[in-house]
Structures are given as C-alpha cells and as structure tokens.
Structure 1
Amino acid sequence: MPEGLPTKKKAAFTLSEVLITLGIIGVVAAMTLPTVLNDIQDKQFKTAFKKQYSVIAQVVQKAYLEEGETPAPNKDWRQMPKYFCRMQKELNALKSGTICPDNIDDMSYEIGGWEGDTDWPSTGEYYWHKENEWFDKQGKPYFRNPAYSALAMLLPDGTLLQYICANQIFIDVNGYKKPNVIGRDIFYIIVNNNRITPTFLYESYGSNGSINGCSGSEYSVQITSRNYKQDCESGSGWGCSMLYLLD
C-alpha cells in the first residue's frame, strides 16, 4: 500500500458487547433448557410405562389361564393375596409388602382366606410413596388408601407397583426418584375382568369407576373417553395413562 494512504481498520466487538451477548445466551438457555430436559424425560417415562403395561398384561393373562379367574372389580380386598403373590413371582419382584408362601397354588381367592388386617401376611415394608410425597399434575399432594399398603412391590428395574381398589394398578416407572408426579412418571392400568386393556374405568363400571376411588372423593378422578386428553394436559394427570396407551 502506498505510503500516506489511510489504513482500513477491521471491525471488532468490544468486550462489553461480547459479555452482553453471552449474558443473553445464558438467559435464553436457562429459560429453555428445563423444558427441553423435561420433554426428553417425559418421553422416557412414556416408553417405560408402555413397556410395563405390556409385561403386566401378559402376567395377568397368564394368571387367568392358570387359575380360571382373577379378582373381580370392586370386591373385598381380601380376595387379592393369591393374585398379588402370583404377580410378585412372575414379575421377579425384589421386595414386596406381602409375604407369599413357596407354593402359591395352595392359596385361595376366597374372601376371608386371611381374616382381616391383623392376619394379613405383611412384611411391614410398604413399597409406594408416603402421603404427600407424590403429586397430581397440578402439584397437589396425593394419597392412597392405606388398607392396600401391603399390596405393593419393587421391581428389578426400580419400578414401584401398587395394587389399589381391587382392580387398579398404580405404576411409578421412576421408582422413588423424582418427580413422582401423576401423568409424568406415575400411571395407572385397570384389571378388566380377566385381562388388562386400555379401559375407561367410569364407562366400564359406572359410579364405582373412579381412579383411586377407594381413597375418598378428594383423591379420586373419573376418566372417560371425553375428558382424558384434557385431564392429561390440565387436570390430575391420570388421563395421560389412556392418552399414551391409545397413542
């Protein structure tokens, strides 16, 4: 370049401009990252739920083929021991709230096989969340009938399974780990007579067909073919179970 001509300087960012830009990127990342991570986690929970649904459906069908019956809906909870013990064995449960005999075939489905709470063969360990340690999708602390506390088990992959209200099974695919929220990592399935199918409980059993209905009206929800999508999006979260199974 000839002497005396002005040189052309290259444009550059000042330090303050760089810091401001990095700050904006950090704020945007902080706002969007939790949503992205939750979406990824929810997809994993959904996949895990559908897998457990398939496995449990096979176990229930096997029990029916071997026994010729499964506990009828809305019956006395003392019908449950043999059925629960068979599920516990087939699912290779690591731990359970019920002590099962070596020979399950010697047990009976008859009501009164064990006379009331005091004779129930409980291990004294309850493998479900304590009251106020699990929540609906709106953040409300949840509760389940303690009469069914012994009908819960811990599976090898960490899944918690709670039999409730004689014909419902709660599943936490994430075990004791958070979030412990209905519709995210907690779901339900229905034992519909001799099998498990995607079932709208209210439409199958009428006024008795409420999810968690044996735990009181404050903690029960009626999920129907008309409201399950809305419930999943902005309600209790129980509707997500049907939404994912019918997806």
Structure 2
Amino acid sequence: MKNKLNSRIIRGVEKACFFDTIRAGFAYTHTAPYRKFGFTLAEVLITLGIIGVVAAMTLPTLVQKYRNRVVETRLQKFYSAINQAVKMAELEYGDKKIWYEDVGGLAVDSDGNPIEGSSKIDIWFTKYLAPHIKIIKKTIESDGRPTYYFADGSALSTPDATVSRDWVFFTGNPEKCNKKYENPYGICKFIFEFYPASESADWKFLYNKGFEPAKVKWDGTKELLYSGNAWACAKETIGRAYCAALIQHNGWKIPADYPLKVDY
C-alpha cells in the first residue's frame, strides 16, 4: 500500500514539473521550475505577413531582371547569328550590296488569291540567308509577309509586305507579343534593318553593313535615341524604332533608364 502511494506522488510531481503538451501551433504550455519559450500563433502570423509583404515588393523586381537578361541575350544572339548568315551568303554570292534586293509582294491567281510560295521576301530570304541560320518553323501571311521561328523561342518577321529592308525581331512568340501589348515595340518587338546598298545620308549607319538595329536618320548621339524624333525609344512614340539601337549602344545591356519594361 505504501509503495502504491509513493508511485502516485511521483507521477503527480512529474506532471507538475515537465512539459507534456504543445498547444496553439508554436506556443508551449509550461510549469515551474522548467520554462520553454516559443512563438504564439499571432506572432507567427505577423511574421508570415511581413515575409509576404517583402516578397511582394521584391519579386516583381527579380522577375523583371530575369526578363531583361533573356531579352538582352536573345537580341545579341540574333544579331550575331543573322550577320554570320550574311557573311556566309557573301562567300557564295559575293558582296551583299550586289545580291541585296528591296523586294515585296506576292503573286495572285485569276481570282486575286495569293499563290503559295510566291512571297518575294520569302523567296529572297530563303535563297540567301535561310540556309545559314537555324529555322524551326515558317509561316507566310496572306499579303506575303514571312515569319521565321528560331529554336530559342524568338522569331523574325517583316512589318511591311512591300519592302525587305525593314525587319522586326520578336524576343518571344510573335502572337503572344502582339496580343499582350497594345504597342509592343521596344518591349518584345524590335526593329532591325538590312539596307547595305544605299549611300543616302539618312541611311549612313547601314551602308555596307549587315542587319543592324534601326538607325534611319540617326545623328549618332545617345540623346536622339531617347527623344526628339518619330523613331525615339520613348513611351509616347508609336514606332520606337531606336529601341534596339539604344540597347546595342549600351553594349547589348538594357540601360537603367530604359523607358519600357521588356518582355519575351
């Protein structure tokens, strides 16, 4: 009887002195002489709230930095690849000023419907440049404008079916780019030009060159790339033709004061 009584007393003391329950998430019940410190549920929720606010503030910046890197890489990669294709074509056909043609349009049948395979821009591009650059897909619009898709997700097209001097490079899917933005120029759509034969002062930065970011009527100053003309890389400008030139001018890095948020 005495032993049973002693056992009950010991068990009672153990209950009084040691933890045996965890309540409300991180809050521990405690009794003297031992004490554990933890977080209350309210403290945990406040901490999580702070973490959420910080994440909401920093995540958009991190996402945009990643987009910048993708756009920079694809612009520079395209510039290098297309001009390598020009050099390869010169080895086969001679100086680019000889085989360059400013062509456009396509043939139509007696009912006025476009004839497949008659896009003059595509015929020219397929002959001289396509063999030297990896194209995974090609589409032709009803007016003859071709679009060439590359393995990294970017694409090359023409903004006008009547000339082949002007080209648009998409840093991602063209359909997505045009649909997502009311004015995608300078964001996911950049203008390039191939006009090596003109000796006009307006085209002096393109004479005897390969594919270059649009620089028509550029005076060579950084200031004109930003403002003061219809081609400036600015939010209020419609065409934003100089945006690719602005990035090229900065070593193919998007400047800190670039007026738009690029995408792909």
TM-score class normalised by the smaller sequence: 0.5 to 0.7
Deviation at 1:160, TM superposition (A): 1.4
Q: CA RMSD of the aligned region, Å?
A: 3.4
Letter in 2 for 1:244: I
Matched-pair contact (CA < 8 Å) for 1:42–1:185: no
Q: Give the structure 2 partner of residue 191 of structure 1.
A: 194
Q: How many matched pairs? A: 174
Q: Residue 84 of structure 1 aligns with which residue?
A: 125
Deviation at 1:17, TM superposition (A): 2.3
- Alpha-carbon contact 1:228-1:239 (below 8 Å) kept: yes
- Greater relative contact order, per chain length (Cα 8 Å cut-off, separation 6+): 1
1:157 matched to 2:152? yes
Q: Deviation string for 1:153-201 (max 9, x for gaps)?
A: 1223332110334212211132258556433332221113152234512
**Aligned twin of 1:33:** 59
Residues 113-154 of structure 1, C-alpha deviations (whole Å, 9 max, x = no match): xxxxxxxxxxxx54xxxxxxxxxxxxxxxxxxx7342x2212
Gap runs ≥5 in structure 2: 1-31, 107-119, 179-183, 197-207, 251-264
Q: Percent identity?
A: 27
* TM-score in terms of structure 1 length: 0.56
For the residues of structure 2 that align with 1:11 and 1:92, how far apart are their CA atoms? 64
Which stretch of the first structure deviates more once superposed, 51-60 or 183-192?
183-192
Take 1:224 and 1:84, find their aligned partners in 2: how far apart are those partners? 32
Aligned to 1:93: 135
The answer on whether the counterparts of 2:186 and 2:243 sit within 8 Å (CA) in structure 1 is yes
Q: Could you tell me which residue of structure 2 aligns to residue 71 of structure 1?
A: 101
Rate the CA distance shift 1:172–1:81 in 2: closer, same or farther, 3 A.
Answer: closer
Which residue of structure 2 lines up, in the alignment, with residue 241 of structure 1? 244
Structure 1 position 92, deviation (Å): 3.2
How far the C-alpha of 1:238 sits from its partner, in A, is 4.2
Map 1:35-184 → 2, pairs under 5 A: 35-64=61-90, 66-67=93-94, 68-72=98-102, 77=105, 80-86=121-127, 87-97=129-139, 125-126=140-141, 147-149=143-145, 151-165=146-160, 166-176=164-174, 178=176, 181-184=184-187
Cα distance between partner residues in 1 of 2:217 and 2:168? 17
Structure 1 counterpart SS, 2:134: coil
Unmatched 5+ stretches in structure 1: 1-5, 98-124, 127-145, 205-222
Larger Rg: 2
SS at match of 2:217: helix
Compute the TM-score of the two structures, normalised by the length of structure 2. Answer: 0.53
